[in-house]
Amino acid sequence: MSKLVAPHGGKGLVCCLLHGSELEAEKTKAAGMKKVEISARVKGDLIMMGIGGFSPLNGFMTKADWKSVCENFTLADGTFWPVPVCLDAAKADADGIKVGDEVALVRNGELMATMKVTEKYELSEVEKKWECEKVFKGEGADSADDKFMKVALEDHPGVQMVMNQKEIILAGPVKVLSQGEYPAKYKGVYLTPAETRAMFEERGWANVAALQLRNPMHRSHEYLCKIAVEVCDGVIIHSLIGNLKPGDIPAEVRVKAIDCLVEKYFVKDNVIQAGYPLDMRYAGPREALLHATFRQNYGVNRMIIGRDHAGVGDFYGLFEAQTIFDKIPKPAAAGKALLCEPLKIDWTFYCFKCDGMASLRTCPHSKEDRVVLSGTKLRKMLSDGSAIPDHFGREEVLVILREYYQGLTEKVEVKMQSFASGEKMK
């Protein structure tokens, strides 16, 4: 009997990926289907459905599911789910598709999946704006009622993604035929939920925490991880290896940097590095909930949530991604509630007077004594060629990151958040 948390939804791991003769038969069948070109985001969602990462989802959401997720944080059947997972299609691709049809889903010429269409609907501009206000609007300065959409259309990649969706939405169950480039490109790092669960079981872990990463791992991330190691059986450093926004550091560079840190600064038996194939949605608190939801499928029962988790710009309160866990519905029906809980950790930094890493809960000194750490700030300094302050990152990691930045022929402006200087530190 496993001691790990059960997969979300009460149905075990729902894996839509085909194998062997079944896979070959479906590929042959797909050759005669109408082809629908999908986005990078949809590709990642498909792969997660394939490997069980999005259990209990077995396909793309109906309009009833979409509306309930935006409004109530649940699917139409009452199962907790925090963000829409929808398949948008160009009108030209969707013309002629009827409910009951089977279609082939392709990305840049690669056959990714087939889908049986159970619903075909449109989202108006008003409905897309409503989704943005429900899912992406937060408590930060840029989310004020009088400016949110105006600022978001310019500066929020998640809102831009929704507002730029294609005209038609297709819903229905999928049969996933490919995991894309991930198994080969990230061999040993790209792991499925079944694989991580087996690794946790082999190590005897029952209480497992996850650290979400989309930026290089700096000293604050390292500290968060080590706090979790102290109170849990082990930690999975779980990096996003799907698409990011321009200016973010590629996954292969981050993986190399994490490998270096794990090798030199962690007890290896207590840490696993892995990657998952999603694109960032930049949904702040809602995305923190999504991170916890699919981590539950990977066998994780504690999600590390620090400052500005999955944030962008100044749309979210510094700890809004922590407090949202206290406000979500907790369905009583078996399997429908989120079981992965937040491991809430305060603002962390290096303090010269403490002579080490600390947090607002442990350090009595002033902000002038502290080195404020942020992934965005690190990217900004590296991009500008600025000197990195002492204790911001491990020198071995900075060597890797500087080498990457020196090789860039074109650089993207990195926009700083207002708290990155520590001005909001109490």
Active-site option among 41, 107, 197, 215: 215
Does 418 score more than 70 pLDDT? Answer: no
Separation between Cα atoms, residue 320 and residue 286, nearest integer Å:
10
CA–CA distance from 246 to each of 242, 250, 275, 310, 400 (Å)?
Answer: 13, 10, 20, 15, 19
Determine the pLDDT at residue 408.
81
Catalytic residue among 41, 107, 197, 214: 214
- C-alpha closest to that of 302 among 238, 231, 237, 210: 210
Instruction: Say if CB 249 and CB 215 are below 8 A apart.
Output: yes
Sign, CA torsion 334/193/67/320: positive
215 included as an active-site residue? yes
Average of per-residue pLDDT values in the chain: 93
Spell out the CATH class of 20-180.
Answer: alpha beta
Percentage of residues of the chain with pLDDT beyond 90: 79
Q: How far is CA 420 from the centre of its chain?
A: 21
Look-up of token digits 């598709």? 97
pLDDT digits (tens, 9 = 90+) for 119-140: 999 999 999 999 999 999 999 9
Helix (H) or strand (E) holding 235: strand 234-240
Q: Do residues 338 and 162 lie in contact, with contact meaning Cβ atoms separated by under 8 Å?
A: no
CA 7, distance to chain mean position in Å, is 17
DSSP 9-61: TSS-----B--HHHHHHHHHHHTTSEEEE--HHHHHHHHHHHHTTTTT--EEP
Task: Assign 314 a pLDDT band (cuts: 50, 70, 90).
Answer: very high
CB 8 within 8 A of CB 339: yes
Burial of 32 (C-beta count, 10 Å sphere; 0-12/13-18/19+)? exposed
Count the residues in the chain. Answer: 426
- Beta strands 168-176; 110-116: pairing state: antiparallel
> Residue 424 — very low, low, confident or very high, per pLDDT cuts 50/70/90?
low
Phi, psi of 231, rounded to the nearest 5 degrees:
-110, -5
Give the model's pLDDT for residue 383: 82
Query: How far, in whole angstroms, is CA 6 from its chain's centroid?
Result: 20
Instruction: Copy the structure tokens of residue 215.
Output: 């930026």
Looking at residue 384, what is its pLDDT? 81
pLDDT tier, 389 (very low <50, low <70, confident <90, very high otherwise): confident
Residue from 244, 187, 42, 155 nearest 195 by CA: 187
pLDDT band for 420, please (50, 70, 90 cuts).
low
pTM more than 0.95: no
pLDDT at 249: 82
Say whether 370 is catalytic. no
Position 250 confidence tier, pLDDT thresholds 50, 70, 90: confident
pLDDT band with cut points at 50, 70 and 90 for residue 226: very high
Class of domain 188-421: alpha beta
Q: Distance (Å, rounded) from C-alpha 374 to C-alpha 120? A: 42
Helix (H, G, I), strand (E, B) or coil at 75: coil
How far, in Å, CA of 354 to CA of 143, rounded? 36
| Domain layout of the chain by residue ranges | 20-180, 188-421
Segment 80-94 mean pLDDT: 95
pLDDT tens digits along 357-386: 999 999 999 999 998 877 677 878 888 888
Task: For the chain, give the percent of residues with pLDDT over 70.
Answer: 96
How far is the C-alpha of 49 from the C-alpha of 32, rounded, in Å? 23
